[in-house]
Copies of this chain bind each other. A is one copy, B any other.
Amino acid sequence: MDRRQRKTREAVFRAFTGLLKEESYSKITVQQIIDRADIGRTTFYTHYETKDALLESLCADIFGHVFSEDLQKERTHDFSRDHDIPSRLKHVLYHLQDHMEYLPGILSGESRDVFMKSFRAHLKDLFSAVKAPYAASVPQDYMLNHMVCDFAEAVQWWSENNQYSPEDISGFFLATTPVCPCETGARKRCRLQNAHAGRQGCSDDSGAFLRSDG
């Protein structure tokens, strides 16, 4: 790809995520993005059809990283994905941590819908392997939605209470939402790990920050 294109997209993403740290998506204008990225108006619109398209592009980028493990395993026909959902969730949380600073800017208003639609689709896929821990008293559909929403809400809560580690959040989630019949004991096992375990592991920082379409 043309170096100019690459630089433009980097600048736009940097400007966009930067602005998201300061105010919510709906309040950010295209002009602000253009000004901060220091590019021409026309240039922006040749890269992104609309402002929403940019948001979708960003979300795709985020989830491309966050759920990268899944993609890889699916590609290599590794069926270990059926096992150990808790550790996979922790993995997701580790990756999400890289985007926490600007997540609050996305998680309100219209942009929340865009983010959550994609996030929930990924989570639904992940949780669909879980066998219903609450048996027949509740519709399967409700259960799946319940687990997905719980995790999504845990992430939203995390984005507003960022003094916790991925392990903490994972622990809170599992303590309040058993995702597996054999995990019901988790409520007693899972303890808040006050040691904030810094940022470690899960480091597959492939530098592909930009989308590769167009």
Contacts and interface: CB of A to CB of B under 8 A. Distances in A.
A5 interface: no
Interface in A165-214: 171-172, 175-177, 187, 190-192
Interface of A: 26, 108-110, 112-113, 134, 136-139, 141-143, 145-146, 149-150, 153-154, 157, 161, 171-172, 175-177, 187, 190-192
Given A134-B187, A137-B191, A153-B149, A142 B172 contact: yes
A81 to B, nearest CB: 24
Contacts of A161: 141-142
Contacts of A136: 192
B192 A139 contact: yes
B26 A134 contact: no
A192 B145 contact: no
One complex includes copies of this chain to the number of 2
Contact of A153 (B134, B143, B153): B153
Contact of A176 (B141, B146, B192): B146
Contacts of A171: 137-138
Nearest to A147: B176
B110 A26 contact: yes
Contacts of A137: 171, 175, 187, 190-192
Contacts of A146: 150, 153-154, 172, 176
A143 to B, nearest CB: 7
A134 B176 contact: yes
- Nearest 10 Cβ contacts at the A-B interface: A149-B153, A109-B110, A138-B172, A142-B172, A146-B176, A138-B175, A137-B175, A145-B157, A134-B175, A137-B191
